Amino acid sequence: MANNNQTPEVTFARDLGLFDATMIGVGAMIGAGIFVLTGIAAGVSGPASILAFALNGAVTLLTAFAYAELASAIPRAGGGYSFVRMAFPGAVGFTAGWMLWFAYTVACSLYALGFAGYFWEFFLKYMPGFASGAMGLIGEHTAVLLVTVLVGVAFIRLNVRGAEVTGFAENVLTVSKLIVLAIFVFYGLKRVAAEPTAAAESFNPFFPLGAGGVLVAMGLTFIAFQGYDLIATVAEEIKEPKKNIPRATFIALAITLTMYLLILFVSLGAVDAGDTPSWQFLGRYKETAIVRAAEDFMPAFGVAVIVVGGLLSTMSALNATVMAASRVAFSMARDAWLPDPVAKIDPKRRTPRVAIIATGAILLVMALTLPIETVGSAASLIFLLTFALVNLSVIVLRRKAPEIKRRYKVPFYPYVPILGIVLNVFLAIYQFTFQPLAWFVTAGWIVLGLLIYFAWAEKRAVHETPQVLVPGGREPAAPTGYSVLVPVANPDNVGRLLDTACPIARAHDGRVVVLAVVNVPRQLPIHEGLRFVHHKDRLFRVAREHASSYGVPCDCEVIVAHHIYDGILSAARRLRPDLLLMGWKGYTNTRERIFGEVSDHVIRHAPCDLMFLKIGQESERHRVLLPTAGGPHARLAAEFLGILAQADRMSVTACYVVPPDASREERDQADMWIEKTLERFADGGGVEKLLIESDSVAGGIAKASKDFDLVVLGAAKEPLFRRLLVGDIATKIVRYSPASVMLVKRYEGRLRSVLKRLLG
């Protein structure tokens, strides 16, 4: 194999287990949002804020089903972007990635700023002298931005070091903040148990502001349920993704929803605000509501616990979201929609270093310069729109790619994804009623992305070029002299194909190049195929032994591809063979295809002469039928058959079909066409001639072929749209002849091949 000594492509390391993946989801969802949103939600909906959170959990569960199916079946870095890009290649797929990268990066900025806020809150509460001195020296705003930059750089550096280190840090941070929140819930439940009557009165009336307040609260708090989707963005780094991704998704959502409802319950039921209803008390303090609640029913250390919880929450959310944002950027670059360096994986750390640094630089610029509250609202809107697209992708990919193996499937399909689409779009539209500026920011970002796509990215779009990978990355040079490229897949057919390829190569003092394609399901990253390259060794061993028996040099190449035909055509363009010889296993009845997906693509696009061999049941080919109607394809078929006939001592019969009532002139014309074709035959004198009388050319040849082992055909150009590949007559013969069939098609750019040989 030509690439044995090459360094394999660097890929992600699968270092994250079920616990790690779950903590990424929990860490991202239980961020600073629950601390900030509890008071806000209570203020706009009263005790019904619990219902608002529960309903948001139900809405996001619908999309979680979609993520669980797609992420486990398509474990690619990039998460929702990768799913939408597969379902909608082109502008929609690009826009999904463009929006998600923006939304995740904005979320990173929010978390970094949130950390800075809690950081100085802690010092103002417990070390006021230090905090006042620092802020007096550099200013309050500068102090916040300084901490924002420091924590941002710290977690960017942590992510560069590797997924295993990042995952460990996420585990520690997330477990710590869950402990902190559990302490808060414990003291709240203790107060509720001590004063159950007062707690019950806190929830009456349940809808003090009407049912409309629930919808407003849902729109404001939905962003708190964004986070489990981050599990999908790091799918290439999760062990056993088909099993662990669905489990991690639902476990993370269950932990988060339970914690949210408990925090809301104790915040509403345990606070003693005198004559003021607890929901009004929480709504009055908004972002600091939980801190005020902790002061009321927790011991003296309560505020410190909540502030530490806020610090831990913002750190874990920042850590997880930096990882997710960088993987979206990496995936877009791998699809040629961002600059190539962004798609590079550091060989030592096995992380997308450039993608992480680029994401980090953008998040810091956003945090330091943009009105973060406004773009934060736009990020929430983007997540709603993206979730709707992910649900739609489930439906599209079920129809478009049914061959993808789905270990987990969305229940009650298609009703669940349809309901997910409707509810996510409804919440997105409803958001316009209270945050219209978010829609304008989102629309502006989408328009900017589309301008970039159509002006630059579309030209590099990966769906317009074959996804292939030569192991090691260094492509071997094309062989000099005459060469025959032989794609192989089945060891049982290698000998039959080389029995045809080797005599032709030997006659031209050339060589054969045996090609094996490792086919990677399109839902998986292309580099996954590198693990199976060694499985082709048996094919190559058989090929070398067979070529050696003919005394013909044999090179072996392997290529990894999402589509077999892309791998074959890519190798043909790179190696520039004079002849491409491939086998065919049977006819297809699919309306859109003639010989099958692989064969049709190769016949249509092969950049060299093509020999297409349908192998019959019998391996002998003593008696050969050569139909002809003239033309360059038939003459090339005769030339190759002449070589094979001498090597294998074949008995060749050249034939022409005439009508049963053909005149003497028509029969003489048929004989002339036979003679013209045999001008390229190596031993034309030893060929028998046969006139077949039939009203159907294809039917007459197919019927006559029953007495032969092999039929050799030249492709024909006929004005029938479905048969432009090889001609309608050749198509019918290949389909109905019981004998083996060899179809030859001359490359229209034959002059290039001739010049190549003349120039060496």
List, in order, residues 6 or more apart from 4 with CB less than 8 Å away. none
pTM for the structure as a whole: 0.67
Q: How would you write 636-671 as a 3-class SS string? A: HHHHHHHHHHHHHCCEEEEEEEECCCCCHHHHHHHH
List, in order, residues 6 or more apart from 53 with CB less than 8 Å away. 41, 217, 221, 224, 257, 260, 261, 264
* Higher pLDDT among residues 594 and 608, named by residue: 608
Q: What is the mean pLDDT of residues 398-422?
A: 89
**Using 50, 70 and 90 to split pLDDT, how confident is the model at 11?**
low
**Using 50, 70 and 90 to split pLDDT, how confident is the model at 501?**
very high
Give me 162's structure tokens: 């590797």
Mean pLDDT of the chain: 82
* Higher pLDDT among residues 641 and 597, named by residue: 641
CA 111, 142, 173: angle at the middle one, nearest 5?
Answer: 25
A 10 A CB-CB count for 293 gives 29
Q: What is the mean pLDDT of residues 115-138?
A: 84
**Using 50, 70 and 90 to split pLDDT, how confident is the model at 451?**
very high
Fold match between domain 466-615 and domain 618-753: yes
Q: pLDDT at residue 568 above 70? A: yes
**Using 50, 70 and 90 to split pLDDT, how confident is the model at 503?**
very high
Per the CB < 8 A criterion, the answer to whether 306 and 291 are in contact is yes
The architecture of the domain spanning 618-753 is: 3-Layer(aba) Sandwich (3.40)
Topology, domain 18-463: Amino acid/polyamine transporter I (1.20.1740)
Q: Quick one: how far is CA 385 from the chain centroid?
A: 19
Q: What is the mean pLDDT of residues 178-196?
A: 90
Q: State percent of the chain over pLDDT 90.
A: 20
Q: How far is the C-alpha of 139 from the C-alpha of 142, rounded, in Å? A: 5
Q: What is the mean pLDDT of residues 404-420?
A: 91
Domain ranges of the chain: 18-463, 466-615, 618-753
Q: What is the mean pLDDT of residues 746-754?
A: 62
Q: Determine the CATH number of domain 466-615.
A: 3.40.50.620
List, in order, residues 6 or more apart from 480 with CB less than 8 Å away. 760
Please tell me the least confidently modeled range out of 218-227, 565-574, 624-633.
218-227
Please tell me the least confidently modeled range out of 113-127, 222-236, 579-593, 625-639.
579-593
Phi, psi of 433 (to 5 degrees): -70, -25
| Residue 684: per-residue pLDDT | 47
Q: pLDDT at residue 447 above 80? A: yes
| Residue 524: per-residue pLDDT | 65
Q: pLDDT at residue 228 above 60? A: yes
CA 238, 243, 248: angle at the middle one, nearest 5?
Answer: 65
Helices (H), 270-335: 278-285, 289-297, 302-334
**Using 50, 70 and 90 to split pLDDT, how confident is the model at 475?**
low
Phi, psi of 188 (to 5 degrees): -65, -45
Q: pLDDT at residue 644 above 80? A: yes
| Residue 165: per-residue pLDDT | 67
Taking alpha carbons only, the member of 103, 111, 123, 101 closest to residue 148 is: 111
Per the CB < 8 A criterion, the answer to whether 709 and 622 are in contact is yes
| Residue 4: per-residue pLDDT | 39
Structure-derived torsion over alpha carbons of residues 382, 384, 387, 389, reported in degrees to the nearest 10: -70
| Residue 591: per-residue pLDDT | 40
CA 88, 89, 90: angle at the middle one, nearest 5?
Answer: 110
Q: pLDDT at residue 556 above 80? A: yes
Please tell me the least confidently modeled range out of 128-137, 356-365, 717-726.
717-726
Burial of 491 from C-beta contacts in 10 A (0-12 / 13-18 / 19+): middle
Q: What is the mean pLDDT of residues 195-223?
A: 84
Assign 744 to helix, strand or coil: strand
| Residue 520: per-residue pLDDT | 81
Beta partners for residue 710, in sequence order:
624, 740
Taking alpha carbons only, the member of 298, 303, 222 closest to residue 37 is: 222
Q: What is the pLDDT of residues 80-111, one digit of tens each?
A: 888 898 888 888 999 999 999 998 898 888 88
Taking alpha carbons only, the member of 109, 256, 264, 291 closest to residue 177 is: 256
Check residue 275 and report its DSSP letter. T
Phi, psi of 139 (to 5 degrees): 95, 145
Q: pLDDT at residue 588 above 50? A: no
Peptide bond between residue 414 and the one before it cis (omega within 30 degrees of 0): yes
Peptide bond between residue 738 and the one before it cis (omega within 30 degrees of 0): no
| Residue 13: per-residue pLDDT | 52
- Give the up-direction half-sphere exposure of residue 264: CA atoms within 13 A in the CB hemisphere: 28
Per the CB < 8 A criterion, the answer to whether 507 and 599 are in contact is no
Taking alpha carbons only, the member of 685, 692, 547 closest to residue 629 is: 692
| Residue 359: per-residue pLDDT | 92
Residue with tokens 């297409």: 612
| Residue 603: per-residue pLDDT | 80
Angle subtended by helix axes 537-550 and 491-507, to nearest 10: 40
Residue type, 376: G
List, in order, residues 6 or more apart from 453 with CB less than 8 Å away. 91, 94, 95, 98, 337
| Residue 258: per-residue pLDDT | 93
**Using 50, 70 and 90 to split pLDDT, how confident is the model at 680?**
low
| Residue 208: per-residue pLDDT | 86
| Residue 719: per-residue pLDDT | 38
Residue with tokens 């963005």: 233
Give me 721's structure tokens: 């749209």
Q: What is the pLDDT of residues 354-403, one digit of tens each?
A: 999 999 998 898 888 877 667 777 887 888 899 999 999 999 989 877 77
Give me 4's structure tokens: 């044995």
Q: State percent of the chain over pLDDT 70.
A: 87
Assign 514 to helix, strand or coil: strand
CA 141, 143, 147: angle at the middle one, nearest 5?
Answer: 120
Handedness of CA 149, 152, 155, 157 (dihedral sign): negative
